[in-house]
């Protein structure tokens, strides 16, 4: 646990880039629940939905269709939750 804390506290690579790298690795592993968590973390760190979708398009060639679809499904789930929360806040 301490090793991860130190890694994320290291300012050599900014938090948004670290989060996007984590999303990439998790897509390569095909771990949808973790992908959703890290997609949300990447957005919190400043990434846009468009940047994450572009990243997933890049990964498609390297990780294959099934894992890429898993990534896009995770992104859609996070996007839908964010949109629902925004709609609820507006009401």
Q: For 34-86, what is each residue's pLDDT tens digit?
A: 999 999 999 999 999 999 999 999 999 999 999 999 999 999 999 999 999 88
Up-side HSE of residue 81: CA atoms within 13 Å toward CB?
11
Is residue 32 packed enough to be buried (19+ CB in 10 Å), middle (13-18) or exposed (0-12)? middle
């Amino acid at each position: 646990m301490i090793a991860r804390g130190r890694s994320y506290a290291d300012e050599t690579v900014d938090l948004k880039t670290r989060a996007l790298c984590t999303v990439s690795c998790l897509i390569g592993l095909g771990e949808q629940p973790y992908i959703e968590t890290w997609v949300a973390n990447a957005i919190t760190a400043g990434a846009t939905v468009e940047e994450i979708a572009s990243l997933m398009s890049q990964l498609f060639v390297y990780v294959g269709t099934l894992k890429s679809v898993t990534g896009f499904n995770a992104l859609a789930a996070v996007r839908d939750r964010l949109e629902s929360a925004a709609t609820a806040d507006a009401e």
